[in-house]
Amino acid sequence: MKILLVEDNEAIIMGLQYLLEQEGYICQAARRRREAERMVSEELPDLMLLDIGLPDGDGYQLCQTLRQQYTFPVIFLTAREEEEDVVRAFDLGADDYIIKPFRNRELISRIKNVLRRGGKDREVLQCGNITLDAESGKVRISGEEVALTKLEYKILSSMMAYPGKLFTRDEILSDIWDISGNFVNDNTLSVTIKRLREKLGDTEGKTIKTVRGMGYRMESQ
Ligand code: CA
């Protein structure tokens, strides 16, 4: 299991690398936001420990950027303990939030917990010729990768998890609200579904079926 530690304090890096390696994890450190982005693009970590205050940006921005593409778990590790900081991190897709100074055994136990939960998302969903790999965040049509926006991805992954289930427009809207923190209106949803269908080669709506006056349903074909 590889843990990427994004942290600019050398003493914390040394202490954590020692602790994590004792526990059998491989721990690499990125001291800047850009360095972290580069390292992730080269090799996906199994988990990221993320400080908020970084020399070239902050952990929130980094988390937001990463979440548009990746789904690996992110644990914030920071001295900021205000409720609004914690809420902001979770809104951006954090899996846990640990306040410094942290206790070693608690940190390890939270890491294990997040990894256990993360494991459930690792499956590859399949629906007809569409596959969705939750770990890499990649969607493929007959093996060809398609680029989806965060909204399109979220809608598709929810629906692919339950093929045949009716998703009401309200359900989808509240689901999207939860991840983006931004209000998404009914019209935006229609446009997003239209674009998603186009990208999936489903312009006739045979895969993502419209259930009139209700919502949408993923057909397993
Ligand atoms: Ca810092």
Closest listed residue to residue 6, CA positions, set 26, 27, 25, 31: 31
Q: What residue has token string 């009716």?
A: 166
The reported pTM is 0.57
Q: Cα(29)–Cα(32) distance, rounded to whole angstroms?
A: 9
57 CA from centroid of ligand 1 (Å): 10
Percent of the chain with pLDDT over 90: 64
Distance in angstroms (rounded) separating the CA atoms of residues 206 and 217: 10
pLDDT beneath 70, residues of the chain: 118-123, 178-183, 220-221
- A 10 A CB-CB count for 221 gives 10
**From the CA of 187, how far away is ligand 1's center (Å)?**
41
Handedness of CA 69, 177, 221, 72 (dihedral sign): positive
Residue 120: the pLDDT is 47
State the residue for tokens 């895969």. Answer: 207
Instruction: Tell me the pLDDT tens digit for each residue of 158-215.
Output: 899 888 899 999 988 887 775 656 667 888 899 999 999 999 999 888 999 999 999 9
Judging by DSSP bridges, how do beta strands 74-78 and 57-58 pair with one another?
unpaired
pLDDT at 136: 79
Query: How are beta strands 215-218 and 208-211 bridged, if at all?
Result: antiparallel
Give the whole-angstrom CA distance, residue 116 versus residue 110. 10
Q: Could you tell me the distance, in angstroms and rounded to a whole number, from the CA of residue 38 to the centre of ligand 1? A: 19
Residues less than 5 Å from ion ligand 1, measured at CB: 8, 51, 53
The partner residues of 133 in beta bridges, in order of sequence, read 124, 138
